[in-house]
């Protein structure tokens, strides 16, 4: 093994910001900041390779001992203190730090190096016995929990009892005598829980802590987090050992976090939260409510000024918004950590656009930085401005967007209820790493404690979920399953609404409004448009959907499912007549009545999509979907049509199929009943001729569904062309149009060369193509699929994100085959996958011309298409 330990500090730095894989994010950034000359307390980083080796071989590399010794000596020389010395003790922090940020998932031990004797020495040296005792009790508590696995509860209970005894609210109000007693009690807890004494030897403490931090890579919650964020298990964590500095040495000491821009809104202003006379863990724990930047500016103006300078320096250097941890020890500022700051999707967009405008980054970089999965949150709901509601409580707005849902009090419950199809709001006093899975399933998160940098806030923002935190008016009783809010008692299952933009909490549901595009979002999308090659169309069946999609930047309709146009109450009856007609004449009569309805739809859609292509698919329903099931409805239909209910029942029985999805659907319908396709073609061409005369540019593309043999396509195409000629002759207007096919049956994909010769375009119907490639019924696969996921047979749902290996192989084959016989063949995708980021990247790679997705996914598709063209790699730390 190569070098295992890398030093950093004002005197000497061996690593750099580029070495994230080896030093972890924290270690690399500490090295980088030390190189920049920022006031970083000295320390060293044990490389991730040590963790990887340790987890495999179950022992530490031999050379580590001497390398750690070298590191210790370096810190001692740099600080002028000595580890284990009674009169001038050096205290250390030992922190994990992986390549990708995993906030709070792994372990940390602070104040290492204290024992009974050294605590007394530290008290003498600092002339602050209270401080020394407080540091000691913190060490025993953290060391007990993290290293000796005593759990936290008994320590917490002890502290809480002491607070009650003294009648105080926070730990800083505990006096010397109380802390003295607590230290003794804490040591007793360790003794009772582990059967041994709290280790008095500082060296032993250090090695045990290093061991625990290395092992924490494999703790269950870290594993869960890695799965959630696709972080490889074999990266391992680095261990950072660093000189402690103390923010709890009196009123001229403080500790805080700083974001170089507002992480919730993206506003370019220093965003800061701090606590005077505290250690960093106090902020994260969310027990004391931190103070804002404005107070810092008033109370410690010089520190504020230094922080401002450092923030600017870091932004210029990293060219990103940074999250910085800092501590002031008796008036001197130290920087303990910096990383690329997590931010709300809204802030991500604003910061990227602002930074490009400030010329800190290029426009391409700005586009590349936006996480498409998160940015779709910008298209989340907000409370309708005209909704009337009463605000029951107000908390800190931590992650924008609004959500309503049933109250759940635990992450486990949130997962279970969400799986049962319920919308839930996770309500907690505060959240911790153990709650992440539940947060991922909830619509939103509400906590009673914490600030905008607390766990709940950071994680929710990362997930793009609405969150209100620090809502101190809430009284949560987990045991009773109740929530007291604004004088009202609520129970699990009651509905509440939270607004993560304002911080408001409302009892009951509230009318929501779909989101609006901000100026910055529109800007980034406009920039994205310049980079992408893939066109983005929309799946829309109504003029309203088409209009919405056009506002979102759709460049045409990729799929108009005409059968959806017949579900309206005034139309389904005529459709039923057509299905029940005894002969062609009867069918035509019904079709003649459907014609004007269809034509009017097309007229409106063509007008909305003026100048853009509109792909209209001929009818593709299993017919029995249009027929009634209940006796009452059957009787009503019978009396309307003047036939017996019995006859209708017989027809329904005749039409019933064992496998409707493999039955009389798709083009099979238009081939057996050509008059149906003829009517639809007539409606399309009459509408097209009409609007073209109005001055609208129409570009109809007629699409044949579920083709499996080229002959099916040829027949439908011929029929459509005949109708076109008739309509053109009747109207004296000619409209340019194309005819193509869905590729949604594996046989059609395999024979893409044959079909390519006669079709002008292919559109991959990946819903059916997935169904038919896997032989998973689209409608029933849920029954076994969850079990498959648990068993690890499948990971992703192939109906959400394309199975690029299997279904994708068919697509690649078909693209090649089709283009071979028809170099001008236009290629697209219109299955639900067309809005999925991973699928869009794949479509770019295999050379499709466009993707088509639902209107609300259009903006994200534009962005992903650009990122695919820019060859973006996924960012795991933004």
The residue ranges that bind ligand PEP (CB under 6 A) are 559, 561, 620, 744, 765-768, 830-831
Distance CA 667, CA 673 (A): 10
Q: Work out what residue 210 binds among Mg ion, ligand PEP, none; the CB cut-off runs from 5 to 8 Å by kind.
A: none
Query: Minimum Å distance from CB 843 to ligand PEP?
Result: 13
Count of residues that bind Mg ion according to CB under 5 A: 3
Strands 108-112 and 92-98: antiparallel
Does 832 bind Mg ion (CB under 5 A)? Our answer is no
Point out which residues pair with 243 in neighbouring strands.
Answer: 92
Question: Which of Mg ion, ligand PEP, none sits in contact with 28, Cβ below 5 to 8 A by type?
Answer: none
104/285 Cα distance (integer angstroms): 11
**Counting contacts by CB under 5 A, is residue 765 touching Mg ion?**
yes
Stretch of 393-401, 559-567, 572-580, 743-751 contacting Mg ion, by CB under 5 A: 743-751
**Strands 271-276 vs 322-329: parallel, antiparallel or unpaired:** unpaired
744 is a site residue for Mg ion (CB under 5 A): yes
561 binds, among ligand PEP, Mg ion, none (CB under 5 to 8 A by kind): ligand PEP
Contact partner at residue 325 from Mg ion, ligand PEP, none, CB < 5 to 8 Å by partner kind: none
Between vectors from CA 614 to CA 610 and to CA 618, what angle results, nearest 5°?
145
State the virtual CA torsion across 437, 438, 440, 444 in degrees, nearest 10.
-160
Please select the residue that binds Mg ion; options are 435, 443, 768, 836, rule is CB under 5 A: 768
| 3-state SS, residue 92 | strand
Closest C-alpha to 714, from 673, 671, 685, 684: 671
Residue among 247 and 558 whose Cβ is closer to ligand PEP = 558
- At its nearest, how many Å lie between ligand PEP and the CB of residue 97? 45
Contact between residue 283 and residue 275 where contact means Cβ atoms under 8 Å apart:
yes
From ligand PEP, Mg ion, none, interface partner of 559 (C-beta below 5 to 8 A by class) = ligand PEP
H/E stretch holding 244: none
Which CB sits closer to Mg ion, 748 or 872?
748
* First-last CA distance in the chain: 31
As measured in angstroms, the least distance from the Cβ of 799 to Mg ion is: 12
Phi, psi of 237 (to 5 degrees): -110, 150
Burial (CB count within 10 angstroms: exposed 0-12, middle 13-18, buried 19+), residue 215: middle
State the residue for tokens 């859609």. Answer: 605
Q: Which does 239 bind (CB under 5 to 8 A by kind): Mg ion, ligand PEP, none?
A: none
CB 712 within 8 A of CB 704: yes
| Residue 577 binds Mg ion (CB under 5 A) | no
Toward ligand PEP, which CB reaches closer, 395 or 558? 558
Written as six digits, the tokens of 836 are 């999925």
CB of 540 to ligand PEP, least distance (A): 13
**Three-state secondary structure readout of 755-783:** HHHHCCEEEECHHHHHHHHHCCCCCCCHH
Nearer to Mg ion, 262 or 744 (CB): 744
Show the site string, 385-414: x = touches Mg ion by CB under 5 A, - = not. Answer: ------------------------------
455 belongs to the catalytic site: yes
Continuous segment of H or E residues that includes residue 186: helix 176-194
Q: Give least dist CB 548 to Mg ion, A.
A: 23
* Contact stretch for Mg ion (CB under 5 A) within 37-45, 477-485, 604-612, 759-767: 759-767
Catalytic residue among 455, 624, 833, 844: 455
List C-alpha distances in Å: 479 to 409, 476, 482. 10, 9, 8
Alpha helix segments (H runs only) across 613-644: 631-641
Q: Give the nearest residue (CB) to Mg ion.
A: 768
Minimum distance from residue 576 beta carbon to ligand PEP (Å): 21
Contact 370, 524 (CB under 8 A): yes
Of 556-564, 629-637, 761-769, 773-781: span binding Mg ion (CB under 5 A): 761-769
Which CB sits closer to ligand PEP, 706 or 817? 706
Nearest alpha carbon to residue 475 among 503, 515, 441, 446: 446
**Which contacts qualify for 75-81: CB closer than 8 Å, 24 or more apart?**
75/9, 75/42, 75/43, 75/44, 75/241, 75/242, 75/243, 77/11, 78/9, 78/10, 78/11, 78/42, 78/243, 79/41, 79/42, 79/243, 81/243
Stretch that binds Mg ion, among 36-44, 237-245, 314-322, 742-750 (CB under 5 A): 742-750
Smaller CB separation from Mg ion, 601 or 768: 768
Choose the binding region for Mg ion from 191-199, 314-322, 708-716, 740-748 (rule: CB under 5 A): 740-748
Q: What is the DSSP letter of 552?
A: T
Site string for Mg ion, 158-177 (x = CB under 5 A): --------------------
Nearest approach, Cβ of 655 to ligand PEP (angstroms)? 19
When CB distances are held under 5 to 8 angstroms depending on the partner's kind, the choice from ligand PEP, Mg ion, none that residue 830 binds is: ligand PEP
Q: Which partner in ligand PEP, Mg ion, none is near 812 (CB below 5 to 8 A by kind)?
A: none
Q: How far is the CB of 668 from ligand PEP (least distance, A)?
A: 13
The owner of tokens 């004391």 is 288
Residue with the two structure tokens 């049956």: 745
Nearer to ligand PEP, 408 or 546 (CB): 546
831 binds, among ligand PEP, Mg ion, none (CB under 5 to 8 A by kind): ligand PEP
Radius of gyration of the chain (CA): 33
Choose between 67 and 768: whose C-beta lies nearer to Mg ion. 768
* Shortest distance, position 861 Cβ to ligand PEP, whole Å: 15
Cα–Cα distance between 859 and 516 in angstroms, integer? 12
To ligand PEP, the closest distance from the beta carbon of 840 in angstroms equals: 15
**What is the rounded CA–CA span in Å between residue 440 and residue 225?**
11
How far is it, in rounded angstroms, from Cα 136 to Cα 279? 13
**By C-alpha distance, which of 594, 722, 744 is closest to 668?**
744
Q: What is the DSSP letter of 178?
A: H
Q: Cβ closer to ligand PEP: 245 or 807?
A: 807
Catalytic residue among 51, 830, 843, 853: 830
| 265 strand-pairing partners | none
Cβ-based nearer residue to ligand PEP, 559 or 678:
559
State the minimum distance, in angstroms, from the CB of residue 623 to Mg ion: 15
Cβ distance to Mg ion smaller for residue 158 or 744: 744
Residues 6+ apart with CB under 8 A from 77: 11
Smallest gap, in angstroms, from Cβ of residue 621 to ligand PEP?
9
Q: CB-wise, 272 or 560, nearer to ligand PEP?
A: 560
Q: CB-based burial of residue 11 (10 Å sphere; 0-12 exposed, 13-18 middle, 19+ buried)?
A: exposed
> By CB under 5 A, is residue 746 in contact with Mg ion?
no
Strands 396-399 and 826-829: unpaired
CA distances (Å), origin 79, targets 6, 30, 83, 90, 126: 17, 17, 10, 8, 15
CA-CA distance, 401 to 419, in Å (whole number)? 22
Does 833 participate in catalysis according to the annotation? no
Q: Which does 376 bind (CB under 5 to 8 A by kind): Mg ion, ligand PEP, none?
A: none
Given Mg ion, ligand PEP, none, residue 766, with its beta carbon under 5 to 8 Å by kind, binds ligand PEP
| CB nearer to ligand PEP: pick between 247 and 622 | 622
Of the listed pieces 222-230, 469-477, 738-746, 749-757, which binds Mg ion according to CB under 5 A?
738-746
Closest CA to 142 of 177, 94, 180, 185: 94
In angstroms, what is the minimal distance from the CB of 775 to ligand PEP?
Answer: 15
Element (H, E) at 271: strand 271-276
DSSP strand pairing (89-90 vs 108-112):
unpaired
Active-site positions? 455, 830
Interface with Mg ion (CB under 5 A) = 744, 765, 768
């Amino acid at each position: 093994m190569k070098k295992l330990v890398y030093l950093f500090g004002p005197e000497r730095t061996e690593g750099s910001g580029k070495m994230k894989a080896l030093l972890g994010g924290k270690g690399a950034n500490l090295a980088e900041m030390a190189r920049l000359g920022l006031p970083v307390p000295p320390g060293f980083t044990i490389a991730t390779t040590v963790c990887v080796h340790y987890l495999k071989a179950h022992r530490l590399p031999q050379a580590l001992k001497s390398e750690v010794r070298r590191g210790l000596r370096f810190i001692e020389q740099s600080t002028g203190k000595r580890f284990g010395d009674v009169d001038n003790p050096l205290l250390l922090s030992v922190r994990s730090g992986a390549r990708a940020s995993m906030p709070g998932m792994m372990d940390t031990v602070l104040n290492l190096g204290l024992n009974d004797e050294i605590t007394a020495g530290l008290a003498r040296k600092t002339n602050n016995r209270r401080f020394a005792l407080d540091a000691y009790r913190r060490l025993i508590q953290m060391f007990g929990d993290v290293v000796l696995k005593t759990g936290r509860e008994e320590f917490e209970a002890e502290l809480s009892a002491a607070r009650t005894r003294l009648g105080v609210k926070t730990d800083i109000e505990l006096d010397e005598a109380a802390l003295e007693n607590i230290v003794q009690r804490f040591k007793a807890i360790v003794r009772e829980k582990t059967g041994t004494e709290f280790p008095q030897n500082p060296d032993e403490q250090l090695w045990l802590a290093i061991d625990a931090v290395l092992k924490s890579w494999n703790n269950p919650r870290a594993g869960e987090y890695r799965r959630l964020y696709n972080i490889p298990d074999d990266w391992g964590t680095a261990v950072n050992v660093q000189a402690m500095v103390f923010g709890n040495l009196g009123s001229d000491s403080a500790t805080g976090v700083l974001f170089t821009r507002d992480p919730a809104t993206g506003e370019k202003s220093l965003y800061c939260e701090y606590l005077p006379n505290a250690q960093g863990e106090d902020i994260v724990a969310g027990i004391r409510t931190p103070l804002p930047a404005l107070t810092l500016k008033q109370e410690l103006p010089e520190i504020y000024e230094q922080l401002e300078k450092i923030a600017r320096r870091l932004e210029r250097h990293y060219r990103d918004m940074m999250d910085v941890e800092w501590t002031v020890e008796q008036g001197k500022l130290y920087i303990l950590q910096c990383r690329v700051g997590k931010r709300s999707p809204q802030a991500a967009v604003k910061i990227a656009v602002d930074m490009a405008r400030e010329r800190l980054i290029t426009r391409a970089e700005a586009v590349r930085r936006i996480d498409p999965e998160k940015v779709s949150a910008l298209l989340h709901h907000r409370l309708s401005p005209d909704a009337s509601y009463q605000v029951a409580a107000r908390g800190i707005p931590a992650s924008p967007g609004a959500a309503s849902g049933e109250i759940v009090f635990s992450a486990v419950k949130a997962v279970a209820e969400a799986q049962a199809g319920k919308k839930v709001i996770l309500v907690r006093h505060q959240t911790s790493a153990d709650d992440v899975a539940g947060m991922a399933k909830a619509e939103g998160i509400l906590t009673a404690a914490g600030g905008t940098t607390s766990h709940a806030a950071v994680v929710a923002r990362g997930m793009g979920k609405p969150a209100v935190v620090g809502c101190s008016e809430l009284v949560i009783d987990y045991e009773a399953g109740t929530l007291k809010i604004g004088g009202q008692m609520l129970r699990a299952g009651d509905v509440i609404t939270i607004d993560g933009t304002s911080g408001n909490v409302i009892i009951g549901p509230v009318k929501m409004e779909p989101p609006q595009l901000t100026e910055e979002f529109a800007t980034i999308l406009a920039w994205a448009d310049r980079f992408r090659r893939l066109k983005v169309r929309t799946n829309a069946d109504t003029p309203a959907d088409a209009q919405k999609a056009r506002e979102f930047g759709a460049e045409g309709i990729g799929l108009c499912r005409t059968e959806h146009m017949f579900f309206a109450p005034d139309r389904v009856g005529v459709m039923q007549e057509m299905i029940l007609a005894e002969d062609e004449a009867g069918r035509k009569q019904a079709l003649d009545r459907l014609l004007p309805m269809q034509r009017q739809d097309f007229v409106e859609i063509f007008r909305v999509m003026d100048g853009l292509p509109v792909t209209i698919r001929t009818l593709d329903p299993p017919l029995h979907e249009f027929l009634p099931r209940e006796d009452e409805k059957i009787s009503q239909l019978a009396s309307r049509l003047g036939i017996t209910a019995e006859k209708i029942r017989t027809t329904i029985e005749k039409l019933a199929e064992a496998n409707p999805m493999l039955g009389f659907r798709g083009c099979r319908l238009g081939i057996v009943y050509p008059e149906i396709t003829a009517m639809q073609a007539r409606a399309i061409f009459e509408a097209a001729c009409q609007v073209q005369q109005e001055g609208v540019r129409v570009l109809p593309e007629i699409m044949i569904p579920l083709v499996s043999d080229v002959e099916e396509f040829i027949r439908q195409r011929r029929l459509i062309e005949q109708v076109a000629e008739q309509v053109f002759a009747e109207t004296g207007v000619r409209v340019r149009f194309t005819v193509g096919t869905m590729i949604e049956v594996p046989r059609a994909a395999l024979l893409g060369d044959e079909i390519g010769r006669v079709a002008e375009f292919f559109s991959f119907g990946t819903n059916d193509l997935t169904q038919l490639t896997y032989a998973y019924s689209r409608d029933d696969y849920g029954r076994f699929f969850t079990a498959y996921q648990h068993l690890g047979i499948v990971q992703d749902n192939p109906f959400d994100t394309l199975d690029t290996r299997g279904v994708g192989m068919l697509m690649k084959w078909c693209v090649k085959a089709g283009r071979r016989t028809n170099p001008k063949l236009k290629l697209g995708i219109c299955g639900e996958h067309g809005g999925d980021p991973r699928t869009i990247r794949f479509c770019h790679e295999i050379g499709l011309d466009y993707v088509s997705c639902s209107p609300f996914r259009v903006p994200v598709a534009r962005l992903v298409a650009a990122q695919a063209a820019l060859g973006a790699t996924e960012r795991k730390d933004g």
